[in-house]
Amino acid sequence: MKSEWADSPQRIGWIGTGIMGAAMCGHLLDAGHDVTLFTRTESRAAPQLERGARWAASPRRVAESADVVFTIVGYPHDVREVVLDPDGALHGAAAGSVLVDMTTSEPSLAREIAAAAQARGVASLDAPVSGGDIGAREARLSIMVGGDAATFQRLQPLLARLGKTIVHQGPAGSGQHTKMVNQIAIASNMVGVCEALLYAQRAGLDVATVLQSIGGGAAASFSLATYAPRMLAGDYAPGFMVEHFIKDLGIALAEAQRMALALPGLALAHQLYVALTAQGHGRKGTHALLLALQQLNAAR
Amino acid sequence: MKSEWADSPQRIGWIGTGIMGAAMCGHLLDAGHDVTLFTRTESRAAPQLERGARWAASPRRVAESADVVFTIVGYPHDVREVVLDPDGALHGAAAGSVLVDMTTSEPSLAREIAAAAQARGVASLDAPVSGGDIGAREARLSIMVGGDAATFQRLQPLLARLGKTIVHQGPAGSGQHTKMVNQIAIASNMVGVCEALLYAQRAGLDVATVLQSIGGGAAASFSLATYAPRMLAGDYAPGFMVEHFIKDLGIALAEAQRMALALPGLALAHQLYVALTAQGHGRKGTHALLLALQQLNAAR
């Protein structure tokens, strides 16, 4: 069933123009959509405003002039503020419009938003992404979607402007849960990659030569291939920032606890990342975890 | 510098015909080499003997009629027995011959063997492998080699019959250290993969659909791609057996401690695998770790 929206420009609302949001919003402007915008700091929206987006004074005002409102902000409390607060998008959203939260946030908050929206005749999706700033710029993100199937169908043409792998994972909260699955797998793998490299260094091996032996076999992973060379070069610039990863791992731990699910590897990874911020590395990339393990094992 | 050995059949000694050793020895028989064989249980050598290998009564006797002796047995104490004991290969090895241990074993034992061999004018390599039974059958193993460079050069044509990625990692023990790096990376990644899948199951997600979203991104790994589908199917047949993996992780922990190196992720993974054997799953594949995490979180 093709939506009547599929091929026509729509009134888009966009809230949040961080590194990810700015690139993603740009794709919708490129596609000729009418975009109304709100960010906490108006000056950060200048590039979008210059390209024809209109400014609104609040998330609520954004929603009042949009058919679909995208949010991609920082923390769950930011999502709550821009969606559920009295000046939030939900309170400006007309019946029949759609809220799409692309922030990595709490599955339980996604369900809460979905219920509040449904009570007002508004549809909603949770649609967090992975793929980083490069994926956002090149519209190659993986978008993990929770919400009802009809709304997913209706939004697919728009989501296809932002990402490449767009999968409906189930009812409200399922997109966020899927993102947590992704982060849980990454967290312990990063521990393994960093411990492996530290062992190699301490054993006096040449790490680049070690990678020739192990990079193509059972130890192969995106993180090993992507980050080991950067660690070797001492390059800890963020692909994905430690502070954001800690937020995600904290959400995963809390949700797991809510399900009475103990995940010891996740808990350990989380603690090592907390230590990494204690050491002053919170704004480095996640592969800076090697530094925390080096510090743990450093002579005073 | 090409070895004078490169193109001519040689007298090969082979000790150990487990799943890996049997396949690897077969490749040297295929190549027309004269093979003398010892295994703990003679009947297990029947296939090789039928193909023309000769039986010897001890590792020492094997070495007495070989230019190069390969060992691939179970545990470090087995390596010690078949190489260093009075009836071991070293005591039958002529000056100028070579001992190659392909068991995954202790780096410190590899150095001990190298020193003992050198004292008798015998060369030695530690050359553990990864790639599993399939890699052994198809001669696609990764072979990680420690020892002096000249001996590595000399053995390369033989090793090329057994594997595809053959890399000299440094002096004696470096092959074993490299294998430990490989296992350390795998161990925590397997924790992450299993915790991620368990979270997905508990969250009510469809795991196969989740893999569509996360399998191609930052969470991608050999273990996720290879084992997640088997876990979904309830197939815990060993690719690589839990008991063997615990041996490897124990070696890695001991060597790390010897280097005064704390690796908390490795320690946790090791403990979870010990729990898995406590639960009776020691002869399943390493991806059965999911069962230990399920048991940890099971209602009584």
| Active site amino acids of B | 179
For A148, other C-beta atoms within 10 Å of its C-beta total 17
Residue with tokens 């290998």: B53
Q: CA of A152, closest CA in chain B: separation in Å?
A: 15
pLDDT recorded at residue B2: 43
Using a CB-CB cut-off of 8 Å, the residues of chain A touching B195 are 184-185, 188, 263-266
A residues 227-266 lying closer than 8 A (beta carbon) to B: 240, 252, 255-256, 259-266
Helix A264-278 vs helix A289-296: angle between axes, to the nearest 10 degrees?
A: 80
The answer to whether B220 faces chain A, any CB pair under 8 Å, is yes
Q: Which of A184, A199, A210 sits opposite B261 (nearest CB)?
A: A199
Contact (CB, 8 A) for B47 and B69? no
If pLDDT is split at 50, 70 and 90, which confidence band does A8 have? Answer: low
pLDDT recorded at residue B3: 47
Can you point out the beta strands (E) in chain B? 11-15, 34-38, 54-55, 68-71, 98-101, 123-126, 129-130, 141-146, 163-170
Written as six digits, the tokens of A205 are 């091996």
Q: How far does Cα B103 stand from its chain's mean position?
A: 5
Domain A11-172 part of CATH 3.40.50.720: yes
Contact (CB, 8 A) for B223 and B190? yes
| A227 Cβ contact list (under 8 Å, min separation 6) | A190, A193, A239, A285, A286, A287
Q: How many CB pairs under 8 A join A and B?
A: 270
Written as six digits, the tokens of B210 are 């989740």
As a whole number, the mean pLDDT across chain A is 95
Q: CA of B188, closest CA in chain A: separation in Å?
A: 5
Using a CB-CB cut-off of 8 Å, the residues of chain B touching A273 are none
Q: Which of A167, A180, A220 sits opposite B222 (nearest CB)?
A: A220
Using a CB-CB cut-off of 8 Å, the residues of chain B touching A111 are none
- Interchain contact, A178 vs B192, CB within 8 Å: no
The Cα A94–Cα A159 span in angstroms is 21
The one-letter amino acid at B235: D
pLDDT < 70: residue spans in chain B? 1-9
Q: How far does Cα B105 stand from its chain's mean position?
A: 8
How distant, in Å, are the alpha carbons of B14, B42, B55 from that of B45? 10, 5, 8
| B158 Cβ contact list (under 8 Å, min separation 6) | B5, B10, B12, B28, B68
pLDDT recorded at residue A192: 98
The Cα A54–Cα B198 span in angstroms is 45
pLDDT recorded at residue A10: 85
3-class secondary structure, B172? coil
pLDDT recorded at residue B8: 57
Kindly state the percentage of chain A with pLDDT values over 90: 93
Vertex A137, ends A131 and A140: CA angle to 5°? 45
The Cα A145–Cα A168 span in angstroms is 5
For residue range A80-108, list pLDDT tens digits in order: 999 999 999 999 999 999 999 999 999 99
What is B178-296's CATH topology? N-(1-d-carboxylethyl)-l-norvaline Dehydrogenase; domain 2 (1.10.1040)
Q: How many helices (H) and strands (E) does chain B have?
A: 13, 9
Q: Which of B219, B261, B297 sits opposite A185 (nearest CB)?
A: B219
Q: Which of A170, A210, A223 sits opposite B178 (nearest CB)?
A: A210
Look up A284 and say whether it is catalytic: no
- Interchain contact, B265 vs A265, CB within 8 Å: yes
Using a CB-CB cut-off of 8 Å, the residues of chain B touching A191 are 188, 192, 264-265
What are the domain boundaries of chain B? Answer: 11-172, 178-296
If pLDDT is split at 50, 70 and 90, which confidence band does A59 have? Answer: very high
Residue with tokens 């009802």: A148
Helices within B65-173 (DSSP H only) = 76-83, 107-119, 132-137, 149-159
B residues 168-187 lying closer than 8 A (beta carbon) to A: 168-170, 174, 177-178, 180-187
Residue A94 has phi, psi (to 5 degrees) of -75, 150
Q: Which of A174, A181, A210 sits opposite B199 (nearest CB)?
A: A181
| Reported ipTM | 0.95
For residue range A135-191, list pLDDT tens digits in order: 999 999 999 999 999 999 999 999 999 999 999 999 999 999 999 999 999 999 999
Written as six digits, the tokens of B84 are 């260093």
Q: DSSP letter string over chain A? A: ---TTTTS--EEEEE--SHHHHHHHHHHHHTT-EEEEE-SSGGGGHHHHHTTPEE-SSHHHHHHT-SEEEE--SSHHHHHHHHHSTTSGGGGPPTT-EEEE-S---HHHHHHHHHHHHHTT-EEEE--EESHHHHHHTT-EEEEEES-HHHHHHHHHHHTTTEEEEEEEESTTHHHHHHHHHHHHHHHHHHHHHHHHHHHHHTT--HHHHHHHHTTSTT-BHHHHHHHHHHHTT----SSBHHHHHHHHHHHHHHHHHTT---HHHHHHHHHHHHHHHTT-TTSBGGGHHHHHHHHT---
Using a CB-CB cut-off of 8 Å, the residues of chain A touching B213 are 142, 144, 165, 167, 169, 178, 182
Contact (CB, 8 A) for A61 and A91? no
Pairing between β-strand A129-130 and β-strand A141-146 as defined by DSSP bridges: antiparallel
Mutate to test the interface with B, among A191, A231, A255 (most CBs of B within 10 A): A191
B residues 16-55 lying closer than 8 A (beta carbon) to A: none
For residue B154, with 0-12 CB atoms within 10 Å meaning exposed, 13-18 middle and 19 or more buried, which class applies? buried
Residue B131 has phi, psi (to 5 degrees) of 130, -10
